[in-house]
Amino acid sequence: MRARFRFALAAWLTVAGAAVGASAQVRDPAAGEALFTEGRAAAKAGNYKLACEKFYESQRLDPAIGTVFNIADCEERLGHLATAWTKYREVLQKVGPEDARHAIAKKQSEALKPRLPKLLVLGDQLPESATVKRGLVELGRASFGTALPVDPGDHEIVVSNPGHEDARFRVELKEGETTEVTLRLGKQVDSGPAEQDSSAAVTRGSDRTLGWILAGVGVAGLAVGGITGLMVLGEKSIVDENCDADKRCNQTGLDAVDSGQTLAPISTTGFIIGVLGLGVGGYFLLKPAEKPKHALVPSIGPRGGGLHFSATF
């Protein structure tokens, strides 16, 4: 029992140690502090763009609510009102009323709220396959119909859907205004030529397959016709040797006559099939590609209905 407990405890300590080690690898408090100090200096000098960059990197290396508070301040000064409002709200959620930053964050967030531009996206007519993005942010269907706080300035909304060109909507959002945008699909992509080429390729492939089959039948027919023709000639030679001028034959001659009468129609049929097979097969192999001219047409008559296959060559 003790051995199992020691084993479980050791396993737990190993996992916990790995987790702590992984966490330590992500954080770098010293670098985070240095970047935070540089961010404060940049903000004091009025370079809020650089200040925000330093604060964001400091937050990545050593997360702290004080850094979030400074990010909110520099984002507000850059005019990114929705981003600043979100950061102030984050500070309010993580510090209590006894913290001096709580009162400042509350005051600033309440002051920013009526100034926030809002974007109202309407896209109920879009198919489920469509995707909507505002910049790099993908908007799910639950976002439609809700006025969403967005930073002021120019924004682009892109609607993508298979079989359509991207539809782009550019909007300028101003402080305190709600802008409504009704989304629609872009122009349908004209896939006619490609589909026709594909259809022609399929038809051409089918024609060539049929052509080779018919040509093969033709070759086989000529072979049968030729072989049975030679056999007929052989039987005729036997008849000549075993029958007189009055067509009186011995048994060998009679057997040769019967065999010749059986083989002759086979030879003739073989030659006919061979010529037709090679001719029609050659037509399908050599004809230019075109749309198939065949159809399966329903027919209804007084005695019932059915399907009628028609083709034009």
- The pLDDT mean for the chain works out to 81
Domain count, the chain: 3
Q: Are residues 173 and 209 in the same domain?
A: no
The Cα–Cα gap between 48 and 55 comes to: 10
Residue 68: per-residue pLDDT: 97
Q: Are residues 102 and 155 in the same domain?
A: no
How do residues 75-103 score in pLDDT, each as one tens digit?
A: 999 999 999 999 999 999 999 999 999 99
What type of residue sits at position 74?
Answer: C
Q: Is the pLDDT of residue 45 over 60?
A: yes
Domain termination residue (choose one: 97, 114, 131): 114
Q: Is the pLDDT of residue 18 over 50?
A: no
Q: Are residues 230 and 251 in the same domain?
A: yes
The Cα–Cα gap between 108 and 151 comes to: 16
More confident residue, 309 or 80: 80
More confident residue, 3 or 164: 164
Q: Quick check: is 80 in a domain?
A: yes
Q: Are residues 226 and 299 in the same domain?
A: yes
Phi and psi angles of residue 165, each rounded to the nearest 5 degrees, phi first: -70, 155
Q: Quick check: is 169 in a domain?
A: yes
Residue 71 · residue 55 · CB < 8 Å: yes
* Residue 102, domain CATH: 1.25.40.10
Q: Is the pLDDT of residue 307 over 50?
A: no
* Model pTM score: 0.54
Domain limits at 298?
192-311
3-state secondary structure 221-265: HHHHHHHHHHHHHHHHHHHHHHECCCCCECHHHHHHHHHHHHHHH
